[in-house]
Structure 1
């Protein structure tokens, strides 16, 4: 039997961020269970990327991992260009126009998921009180009055070496709290019968890496097509990441695409050969990035809105995709999850008595309910916003398209409204966890 304060199921970006955040402000002993191998970094660019906003960057900086990310592959962008394929509307955003956060030079950063997870994992390995269990999956969770009991399955998975990995990964774990950070199909959520609201977006997403001869120009591009949005997110290649400082980087022509479209259209697009698929991307983007070339495999997956009815059940908490999933058209999913992690760490450690070695105050029912309301409210707000944007750009009759285009152009020239949208994109809002602010403000 092994005892811990917190058991985190899922050592992805959100779970690892929670572990580091808990350890930053407490002496809690953490167990992390995940059999998914931490990726080794090579020159192959991951097609799965995340758009990191300023709030998330601050979290990484305050946890000591931002410098490692910057030394790997991080692509900043200062501009966003959004346009309506079916109309005349367009929106242009620039970091220099932000009145909400004038000290920030960027609107955000595009980073491969494997790069983020690798940096977080390496940082967590340095902490002797974060223990990894990578040999076996969990088999069951049961709650007692003051603890949670978790057992492992008996079948072995491939072992991932980690400096703090337990020598007896199959031994049961006792913890005061279990956190499900194990993704959209959360095993923890299912095990605890935590109810979920869901809705099919009737969209499939296609992700891939492409080359754009016109260059991405440190810009995130998004066109709203009749079937759904197509985003071109600027990428930093392995060559550009290793470029000599002070020398202009010639390699700025890679983008990650997120193409959200109807299931039938996604099936058609995936069936095309690489050349024909690239031609469709060039036409869809009005040639603004040049004649596009496909540089990776294509992957597709269905898009579903999910929202847990409650993020907390007794001594079990859900965060990240285990608690909510949203449409990727605004790229805010991972940022929501990272804020969940920072908020939960803040909630759990705010009232800990440094002289209480048993951490008896760790699980406070009223505090956990407040956390659930806090994070569910923000997730609901984001889900509602994404649904509104998706509906606004659904195929419409000509008069509606005209009004939509006029509205976009008016908004594009109305500074107060644009500044508010820029602040939303940056993640700058009221009631952020302390870790989401700049280090100087902590």
Structure 2
């Protein structure tokens, strides 16, 4: 930043809106961070997002997340889980994984977990818009969180002790807590980029990124399975890539159907990862032929499938920021890393980022000093970056290994793969470790990721 720029910004300080933390991106991860920061401090938070949080309706979102136990604990500790339980949420107690090209299969059940025997579920499938809405409702109750929805930032500039952000346009009617004009520049001690895979913050700050094309496109849609999903997450590894059927709650908003076994319990969200040319072929099929392909691919285990929504497709790319921190700017969630969706861990990884950053920032604050002069500690932020980058790298490596293991192979390799899966299916210690990973139970979790009575 030039000296003239600093002088100009300094001369306008009296017109600026002052916050402790500016969070760019009011999605699931950004909102979780805001609530986590406020839980243990009086920090003043600004949240900027180009889109408003929509009201919920009875239309089921094709974008869903598999929430594990660690993420459930985060939501519970932030006072959000009860709202999710009273919304559209589908628990699942079982996972069935099989190899289309061989004879291997794996079956997981929550009751088999020796690591976490008190938990009845392996996870929960929740629409992204349902999660975001519940978080937003909780954040709306907090006067220390100020929303600038429907607004776009024009620039971010770092000074010695603060960060300056300017807006690109006039305020939107969606602005909330707008007790001062959202076009007035913002000054904050820290900026957090929680603005997704194509992060504007990351680009603005020239934070280096490692990319790798997975050579897969994902197709997502909602389908009906006449056999019922049976509170099970299903995944078949095809020669072209994995196809997952994630159980959905098919009730209307506000009428949860957790654990029910009635005939309405037959919707699934699919995530079909396949080669780009195959994705193009599949999305070009009419709905009947596409559903027939799904039925054949799943060996008819869920019955004759029908398509219930539009199909959406997007390329899959591994991204990893070389550093999650640059001076007074931090990246979390998809802004810092994206991974293959075959294990459904991307959102959980981002939620842990949010909980870890909140813990890093608030653990040493003096609760009697509302000015928080020492909010940003360079060594603490470096430790946070190492912690979360290590977790992301471990997950990226694991996903790459699984993807490679199920790539098209010669017959002898396919046979060994199938034998290995079947042996693992009956080897309790290794299987229990996999269940623990699916639950998100690890040794180095942020405090918010533990059960309340463990805090």
Relative to the length of structure 1, the TM-score reads 0.98
1:226–1:366 Cα change, 3 Å: same
Q: Does 1:404 align with 2:383?
A: no
Measured after TM superposition, the shift of residue 240 of structure 1 is 9.0
Other-structure match for 1:153: 168
8 Å CA contact 1:132–1:166 kept in 2: the answer is: no
1:244–1:259 Cα change, 3 Å: closer
RMSD: 1.4
Measured after TM superposition, the shift of residue 37 of structure 1 is 1.9
Query: Please, which runs of 5 or more residues in structure 2 have no aligned partner?
Result: 1-15
1:210-229 superposed matches below 5 A: 210-229=223-242
Other-structure match for 1:328: 341
Measured after TM superposition, the shift of residue 41 of structure 1 is 1.1
8 Å CA contact 1:51–1:331 kept in 2: the answer is: yes
Q: Does 1:122 align with 2:142?
A: no
Other-structure match for 1:371: 384
1:14–1:134 Cα change, 3 Å: same
2: distance between equivalents of 1:177 and 1:226? 46
Other-structure match for 1:353: 366
Other-structure match for 1:436: 449
Counterpart pick for 2:195 among 178, 182, 187: 182
Counterpart pick for 1:252 among 247, 265, 269: 265
1:244–1:81 Cα change, 3 Å: closer
Measured after TM superposition, the shift of residue 411 of structure 1 is 0.2
Q: Does 1:385 align with 2:381?
A: no
2: distance between equivalents of 1:370 and 1:88? 45
Q: Does 1:276 align with 2:289?
A: yes
Query: Please, which runs of 5 or more residues in structure 1 have no aligned partner?
Result: none
2: distance between equivalents of 1:288 and 1:12? 35
Other-structure match for 1:293: 306
1:75–1:146 Cα change, 3 Å: same
Measured after TM superposition, the shift of residue 250 of structure 1 is 3.3
8 Å CA contact 1:307–1:323 kept in 2: the answer is: yes
Count of equivalent residues: 440
Q: Secondary structure at the match of 2:178?
A: coil
Relative to the length of structure 2, the TM-score reads 0.95
8 Å CA contact 1:79–1:218 kept in 2: the answer is: yes
2: distance between equivalents of 1:308 and 1:245? 38
8 Å CA contact 1:201–1:304 kept in 2: the answer is: yes
Counterpart pick for 1:72 among 81, 87, 92: 87
2: distance between equivalents of 1:243 and 1:47? 18
1: distance between equivalents of 2:415 and 2:187? 61
